Amino acid sequence: MAGLFSGSPTHEAPEPLEGPVVATITGGTILWFVLFLVQLPFYGWFEDRGQTWWVWTCLAGAGLGCIGIWYVRGRDAAIKRQAAEREAAEATDAAEREAAEATAASPDSPDSPDSPDSPDSPDSTA
């Protein structure tokens, strides 16, 4: 049995799946709250049998789900903000590269002060 779990894995783990996380957490929170509301009229029945934890578990699930909604909405916003910043940085880098290539590829014009044919050149005779 020890040989079954020893050694390194032969393949890398796949990338995590990104889905509609906010919708999933919101749906689960609504489900917990609906279950709480459905069980609430039967609180006496649960109390007679010492099973009130069923009711409070549903309420706790709804409360923790609210925290989860807050968390995943912030996470989703941060992921989108980071992607937008990355795209803006890539666009800026591409524009800078194009500008550098354009200035490097353009020949010196005869009117530039460094050109020997320029009237402003120190080598020109007047």
> In the chain, where are the structural domains located?
20-102
CB of 68 closer than 8 Å to CB of 26: no
pLDDT at 26 over 60: yes
Nearest in space to 75 (alpha carbons), one of 15, 22, 14 = 22
What's the mean pLDDT in 2-11?
68
Nearest in space to 73 (alpha carbons), one of 26, 22, 23 = 22
What's the mean pLDDT in 38-54?
96
pLDDT, one tens digit per residue, over 48-105 is 999 999 999 999 999 999 999 999 999 999 999 999 999 999 888 888 888 888 887 7
> How many residues can be counted in the chain?
126
